[in-house]
Structure 1
Amino acid sequence: MKKAVLLINLGSPNKPSILSVWRYLRQFLMDYRVIDIPYLIRLFLVNIIIIPFRVKNSAKEYKKLWKIFGESPLIKYTKSLTKKLNDKYSSKYEFYYAMRYQNPSIDKALEKIYLENYDELIILPLYPQYASASSGSTIEYCNKKINNWWNFPKITIINHFYNHKSYINCFIENTKKFNIENYNHVLFSFHGLPERHVDKTYTNNSLCKDNDCEYGVVNENKYCYKAMCYETTKLIAKELSLNDENYSVTFQSRLDDKWLKPYTDTELMKLAKTGKSKVLIISPAFVSDCLETIIEISQINKAEFINMGGKELNLVPSLNDNDNWVDSIFEIIESNA
């Protein structure tokens, strides 16, 4: 049987120019699963308020990223990861990659896959924790495109892998390259979401705050992004033998004050003020280094932390195209086959 695997990550501007960043932000923020408000209000908010206010600064931050990597690291690592997977596991699967927003597009990847007449297509969004704004958007978009096909192969969708042992082990191995005993605190920083997004995941009319998501995943909150983040943290912390008082969970990259709390930047300020001057950050929501890890955490948050009296802040690298991550993806696919 011929089997294809499509790896999908979030995306990036094609270039760090204002026009390119504008196009990327517009496609991203106009997604109704990202900003879940009526279309006309979203159209006004995104194009008249958010993008004009943010685009120049965003382009400046992307230029910093390009200066370090020469291109988008998210695309660079996803492309390299796909090549390594094909080099090692092509006897069982043929791997493709695409971005949810901008290029390389899902449309073109699916077109190539259809023409190859595969028996099975496995879609793997590279977001460990399910969220409607990331995994949900990606899955819905793929389904819309596939619905136009004349021939349907068997299709498998992997909607999360937040608790998969091999994924957890990859972050543990990366973290063990640092001497944890040299740090006062370990901070697990996840990408933020509006609180209403996690509230919408509950089918029993409850809210996220009613379900003790800080203790991890149970049946009632199994689709809650926040619960998955805490479950991932719990699994990594256990393997690293971290005591409860020596680590915490935060959320970064908010647009307003109605997003998941605590916030990464404010928590770092509290740590600096209370004498926790050496902090190690782990970002398990990001399997590829990107703007949020390289610029937001390693530059902006670090500078603010040092300015508030902190002495040292280091970030555990993402999984990128590491060999153990290559093997982990294969194991994730096999366990969902």
Structure 2
Amino acid sequence: MTKKKTGVLLINLGTPDSPKTGDVRRYLTEFLNDPRVIDINAVGRTLLVNGVIVPFRAPKSAKIYKELWDLWGGESPLLTYGIKLRDRLREFYKGDGIDVEFAMRYKNPSLDEVLGKMEKVGYERIVILPLFPQYASSSTGSAVEKAMNIIRKWWVIPELKIINHFYDNPGYIKAFVEKGRQYNIDEYDHVLFSYHGLPERQIEKVHPNLKCSDCTCPKQFNPGQESCYRNQCYQTTRLIAQGLGLDSSQYTVAFQSRLGSTPWLTPYSDQVVEELAKAGKKKVLAFSAAFIADCLETSIEIGDEYQEIFEENGGEKVQLVESLNDSELWIETVKSLVDNQLK
């Protein structure tokens, strides 16, 4: 029996081409004009993004991206580790008739460019893996939608396999547990699990008859809401905490990176950090398990900005647990996720 000619497409969110203001402006323009990211009417989104957010935010964001680039040797870690992951998987599959590609939802390497290359190869089967552990319409949903909009125009559409989450995958959980074990948790007063935030309205679109304020997912996993980002974040946390031997009194789940004045998922990470310091906590260990590679939200927002907030309010150290990046267990986990789709 002949093997199907197979392509694997890894997708991450995106990064500016450089920390220069012009490149950051172009990145933010593409990112924030996505209707799955800012889900308001098209006219309002265009005016808000292009007339208010991007002009004012791009110069400030460029300075922060410059800090990130400098911290990581003049490169974007999100791009660096995406390429490393792609190359390691290529080594694993060498000789098996399986090709691996990596693309960004926004900017480069673009999905248009990478999928254009894949179309010419003529794969019989493509496995699409958005590198977001927890499903959200603004991340996984957007990446899959963009890929499908490109592929649907092909004359020959191959068999498609889509992995839309892996929040509870044992390898993914174990990889973060191993990262956490590099630190002596007994030396820390508290553990923070900080996930990227989302507007509550986006969560409630998943379960329109249930408000976030009435949901019990902070206390237990709700099987009927398996596609709910918040539900998945809390379950990821419980599994990592279990692997580290933590009880619920030793950690807090919070959400970072909010934008605008509408209600976002609470509690807010920056406020939790401030409250922990005011409560007399001196050392906090912080996980950011929504990100499989370090980026602005981990290295700068948690590593620098939250450290500053913590110190200003009497704390001493917010220790960021680095993301999975190119750890061997993480790379093996990705291969296992793909292999499960090829059986």
> Which bin holds the TM-score, normalised by the shorter protein?
over 0.9
1:43 aligns with 2:40: no
Correspondence list, 1:172-321, <5 A:
172-202=177-207, 205-257=209-261, 258-321=263-326
Distance 2:315 2:149 in 1: 49
Question: Does the 8 A contact of 1:276 with 1:310 survive in 2?
Answer: yes
1:16 aligns with 2:23: no
- Scaled by the length of structure 2, the TM-score of the pair is 0.96
Question: Does the 8 A contact of 2:216 with 2:222 survive in 1?
Answer: no
Q: 2:69 matched to which residue of 1?
A: 66
Task: Show CA shifts across 1:288-335 (max 9, x none).
Answer: 100011111101111111121111210110011111111010111223
Question: Does the 8 A contact of 2:10 with 2:131 survive in 1?
Answer: yes
Question: Does the 8 A contact of 2:127 with 2:341 survive in 1?
Answer: no
Distance 1:116 1:59 in 2: 37
Question: Counterpart of 1:332 in 2: which secondary structure?
Answer: helix
Structure 1 335/218 Cα, relative in aligned 2: closer, same or farther at 3 Å? farther
Query: What's the offset of the Cα at 1:114?
Result: 1.3
Question: Counterpart of 2:183 in 1: which secondary structure?
Answer: coil
Query: What's the offset of the Cα at 1:216?
Result: 4.2
Task: Show CA shifts across 1:98-128 (max 9, x none).
Answer: 0000000001111111111112100000000
Question: Counterpart of 1:302 in 2: which secondary structure?
Answer: helix
Question: Counterpart of 2:13 in 1: which secondary structure?
Answer: strand
Code of the residue aligned with 2:130 in structure 1: it is P
1:52 aligns with 2:61: no
Distance 1:18 1:271 in 2: 35
Distance 1:55 1:124 in 2: 30
Code of the residue aligned with 2:278 in structure 1: it is K
Code of the residue aligned with 1:142 in structure 2: it is A
Q: 1:152 matched to which residue of 2?
A: 157
Code of the residue aligned with 2:274 in structure 1: it is M
**Overall identity of the aligned pairs, in %:** 46
Distance 2:11 2:341 in 1: 17
Code of the residue aligned with 2:9 in structure 1: it is L
Query: What's the offset of the Cα at 1:217?
Result: 3.2
Task: Show CA shifts across 1:46-76 (max 9, x none).
Answer: 0111112211110000011111221111001
How many residue pairs end up in the alignment?
A: 336
Gaps of 5+ in 1: none
Q: 1:31 matched to which residue of 2?
A: 34
Distance 1:214 1:335 in 2: 30
Paired residue for 2:94, among 90, 94, 99?
90
Distance 1:114 1:54 in 2: 37
Q: Mean Cα displacement is larger for which, 142-151 or 50-59?
A: 50-59
- Scaled by the length of structure 1, the TM-score of the pair is 0.97
Question: Does the 8 A contact of 2:105 with 2:143 survive in 1?
Answer: yes
Distance 1:63 1:84 in 2: 28
Question: Does the 8 A contact of 1:183 with 1:279 survive in 2?
Answer: yes
Task: Show CA shifts across 1:214-267 (max 9, x none).
Answer: 134323211110000000000000111101111010000001341100011100
Q: CA RMSD in A?
A: 1.1
Code of the residue aligned with 1:214 in structure 2: it is P
Q: 1:168 matched to which residue of 2?
A: 173
Dislocated runs of 4+, deviation >3 Å: none
1:112 aligns with 2:117: yes
